[in-house]
Amino acid sequence: MTVLTVNTPVFFPLTRKALQYAWNQLAGRIKIKDKLEVLIYYGHEENLDRNLDKPLIWIKPCTKETFENILYLVENSLTFQNVAHFLPDAGSHLIDQDMPALFWSSGAEDGKKPFLVKGSNRIIFNVDILAATFFMLSRWEEVVLKTRDNHNRFPAHESTAYKQGFLDRPVIDEYSVILRECLKILRPRWAPEPSGFRLKISHDIDSMSMYSGLISLLLRTAGDIVKRFKPRMALKTLQDGMRGFQDFKYNPYIKNIKWLADVSLENRIISSFNFMMSKKSKYDPEYELSKTKEIINYLQALRFEIGFHPGYYTFNNDTLFLMEKERMDQVLGRTNYGGRQHYLRFEVPMTWRLWERASLIYDSTLGYPEQEGFRCGTCYPYQPFDVLEQRIINIYECPLIVMDSTLANYKHINTIEAEKIILDLAKRCACVGGVFTMLWHNTSLCVKNHPYREMYRKLLPLLQKF
């Protein structure tokens, strides 16, 4: 990968390691693999070699004050620039909305200079895209800001992306698109590999029993009576995929799991189903190992991905986290898989460390429960950076872009609006060649006659067309 030359004093948390991490993230998104013969320079003019004849991308650094002050800016005070103004011949068709400049470089703080300037053989960024990349991906603001909601979660409205109006944009991926177009100008013969859009549909199995034991028993008994009087019909329903598994017939939440699997199969999507291994609590469902195993076997036979859904109290409790993880290991017969935290409870960087310590492959928690969009400024799976220990965390984060309950329960949005929001977000992911991660539960929104159920079925083929 092309080396980043840093020639400026650095500050915490934007250290040399952090800058190199940010550059690798941007370069990785546009698949810079071989030597491009372009100097990537991060520093001030006085330290730049004047006799340089190599093509140059020069990113001017922001100051420590600019970096830290972003947390306390007045709402909607960030400058946005039209991409067509600074990159007219390329890139503007990929990004149809104005680009936010998170950190203006030192000397350009008034926001009046162009985002970038093209000279002969060099392109100069007046916006510190490395600081922005580090800022968004590391979730540094979640470490610094202490406000939490009633479930101890970092709230969307505290985030810079929300306050400055770019939560609906994969801003870091868009920066990488701009960078790619710049490199193509400097190196016209460079043909970067296109990165394809991917769909990641996941289901957190929050509950498997809509009815209490008594009602469930009554339903089963009624079912048995029906079978006795209509033996032929009963035999047919048994053959219809029940495989002797009564709950697929009588328990609505388990029926929904099968329904979600069926819709995925119809669309040839390998979705993932995340299962809980917690003990019952106010926020965790009844834990039933044998039932869970049976459903997992059913889904695995159909080649679906099975993931881990750690319980409500695990996100900052390593003993509990590892205990539940061990149960999951035993059920799956292996130790490495992905998943998502229940209630999206997540503390940066602690929860990432738990996932790393447990040898898990990826977490997909980081979206906001109350607001859809790009919490990490990206839709690319990426390795997070631990701001406190100043190191890369050895797992992947696959940011969650939207879930059913955000739109239906938090925002009370009807299906027409919801469908538009989902398709718009997916389009943004497609434009940057990323991954559109959507969460659909097996619970209330999925029950028969709920309008969101029909919308979901209608959406999947549309999402595949991007």
CB nearer to Zn ion: pick between 190 and 410: 410
CB of 291 to Zn ion, least distance (A): 17
Q: How many CB atoms lie within 10 A of CB 93?
A: 9
Rounded Cα gap, residues 333 and 56, in angstroms: 51
Residues near Zn ion (CB under 5 A): 204, 206, 342
276 and 287 Cβ atoms separated by less than 8 Å? yes
CB nearer to Zn ion: pick between 283 and 466: 283
CB of 340 to Zn ion, least distance (A): 7
The H or E element containing residue 370 is none
CB nearer to Zn ion: pick between 185 and 210: 210
Adjacent-strand bridge partners of 81: 99
CB of 441 to Zn ion, least distance (A): 7
161 and 155 Cβ atoms separated by less than 8 Å? no
Distances (CA, A) of 55 to 26, 30, 122, 292: 18, 18, 6, 58
CB of 285 to Zn ion, least distance (A): 9
User: 139: phi > 0 → left, psi -120 to 50 → alpha, else beta; which?
Assistant: left
* Residue nearest to Zn ion according to CB distances in the complex: 342
SS3 422: helix
CB nearer to Zn ion: pick between 105 and 371: 371
Candidates 211, 199, 224, 276; CA nearest to 439 is 199
Rounded Cα gap, residues 301 and 295, in angstroms: 10
Instruction: Estimate to the nearest angstrom the gap between the alpha carbon of 332 and the chain centroid.
Output: 24
Q: What is the DSSP letter of 359?
A: T
**Strand 122-125 with 198-205, pairing:** unpaired
CB of 304 to Zn ion, least distance (A): 18
CB nearer to Zn ion: pick between 170 and 285: 285
Tokens describing residue 428: 């943004």
Q: What is the DSSP letter of 460?
A: H
CB of 313 to Zn ion, least distance (A): 13
CB of 209 to Zn ion, least distance (A): 15
| Dihedral over Cα of 411, 415, 421, 425: its sign | positive
Rounded Cα gap, residues 257 and 443, in angstroms: 9
CB of 274 to Zn ion, least distance (A): 8
CB nearer to Zn ion: pick between 160 and 274: 274
CB nearer to Zn ion: pick between 127 and 439: 439
Tell the residue number behind the tokens 């998943």, with chain if given. 339
Residues 6+ apart with CB under 8 A from 300: 306
CB of 309 to Zn ion, least distance (A): 6
CB nearer to Zn ion: pick between 135 and 287: 287
372 and 419 Cβ atoms separated by less than 8 Å? no
102 and 70 Cβ atoms separated by less than 8 Å? yes
CB nearer to Zn ion: pick between 159 and 202: 202
CB nearer to Zn ion: pick between 81 and 443: 443
CB of 269 to Zn ion, least distance (A): 21
